[in-house]
With several copies, the nearest count.
Chain A
Amino acid sequence: MIKVNYFARLRELTGKAEETLEKESMTVGELLDWAEATYPGFGKDTMYVAVNEEYALKEDVIRSGDICAFIPPVSGG
């Protein structure tokens, strides 16, 4: 099981703050593709993915138990 968090625009778009995917393993790229297909207007090209609170690359592998988050362009400060 892979846990996924949504923030800001994505939380409003998906209507949820988090959900759990019944997967043993997938790449960051696959997670982005899944989100893009599942939520129209997701906008994966501007999106980053954090795995266990660290920025990940598209080829990085997510495993069951990992906590993921989609990170839209940040605007703190």
Chain B
Amino acid sequence: MKPFEIVETPIEAQKYTDYVLHAGAGAVTVFTGHVREWTHGVRTLYLAYEAYVPMAEKKLAEIGAEMEVKWPGVKVAIVHRIGELHISDIAVLIAVSSPHRKAAYEANEYAIERIKEVVPIWKKEIWEDGEEWIGGQKKYPENGVVSK
């Protein structure tokens, strides 16, 4: 495994948790995003994720670096799966260890927000009667996608 990676196979939580754990870690938070059956009353059959893989892995690593600056002492692993994903499959996993719990929660939530802003990954929802690439609503800022 790499600590920041895009994969095409099912995500196993344990190996990322093991990666972030160390003798100084008092708290570990693991967030997993799963394919949900119903969204706004519409039934999802499955999702198809696509990524600009080298750039996506680079951006995940940048998010990890941002977290280490904002919350000193955290250790981070982030993995996103692409391809065809079915109900309850893990799409994304964020593992964060920290000496203390507050940082483990905050840093983890920061990671998922940043992923949704800057990492070149796209989701297509496939329903019984159609399909659509998600994300079209959002207007991109004129001054660029700046690192935080």
Contacts and interface: CB of A to CB of B under 8 A. Distances in A.
Given A7-B120, A53-B54, A69-B52, A76 B136 contact: no
A37 interface: no
Contacts of A75: 116, 121-123, 133-135
Per DSSP, are chain A's interface residues mostly helix, strand or loop, or mixed? mixed
Instruction: Pick from A7, A56, A57, A75 the residue with the most CB of B within 10 Å.
Output: A75
Contacts of A69: 52, 55, 120
B56 to A, nearest CB: 8
Contacts of B134: 75
A35 interface: no
B49 interface: yes
B136 A46 contact: yes
Given A7-B52, A53-B54, A69-B55, A76 B119 contact: yes
Given A53-B54, A55-B144, A73 B136 contact: yes
Contacts of B33: 77
Given A71-B52, A76-B122, A8 B140 contact: no
A5 B145 CA distance: 19
Interface of B: 33, 49-52, 54-56, 58, 80, 91-92, 112, 115-124, 133-140, 143-145
Interface of A: 5, 7-9, 11-12, 43, 45-48, 50, 53-57, 69, 71-77
